[in-house]
Structures are given as C-alpha cells and as structure tokens.
Amino acid sequence: DEETAKLALEAANTGHLVITTVHASSMISVKNRLVEMGCDPNLLVQNLLLIAHQELIPIKGKLSLNFTWKKMR
C-alpha cells in the first residue's frame, strides 16, 4: 500500500537495506507502480539499486521459471 511504500523508501534513504516484493508485470512497471503508490521519483532514483523480475512461463506443457534482473546503478 501507499504508506508501506513510502516508509520503505524512507528507510532506504536513511541507509537501511530494504528488500521487498511488488506485484508488477515487468521490471519497468515496478518503478511505475511505486510512483503510482506515491513514492517520489527522485528518491527512487537515489535509492533503487536492483530490480529482479520472475515469472512462470509455459514451455512444452511444463511451467518454467524465467528470472531476469537489472542493476539500476
């Protein structure tokens, strides 16, 4: 929720390591979702180190885990 997102960003801004999950469809949409929740885009740029994205995708009748990540700075 909006309050939790803002608190997590404030904690990261004060030097705390914050690891969290965000329901989003892609790595780019994670940042957009946080902005939609009221997070300051400038604080996101200063504090976001890494976004990891995983999804289950069907391959020949089986589910496979696709994992990607992007280092933000």
Tell the burial category of 43 from Cβ atoms under 10 Å away from its Cβ (0-12, 13-18, 19+): middle
Q: Which of 41, 65, 36 is nearest to 52 (CA)?
A: 65
pLDDT of residue 49: 78
Reported as a single tens digit per residue, the pLDDT across 23-65 is 888 878 888 888 998 888 888 888 887 777 777 677 777 767 6
pLDDT of residue 42: 87
65 or 19, which is more confident? 19
Whole-angstrom distance, CA of residue 43 vs CA of residue 3: 15
Q: How confident is the model at residue 69 (pLDDT cuts 50, 70, 90)?
A: low
Asked if the model's pLDDT at residue 72 lies above 70, the reply is: no
> What's the pTM value of the predicted model, to 2 decimals?
0.65
Tell the burial category of 9 from Cβ atoms under 10 Å away from its Cβ (0-12, 13-18, 19+): buried
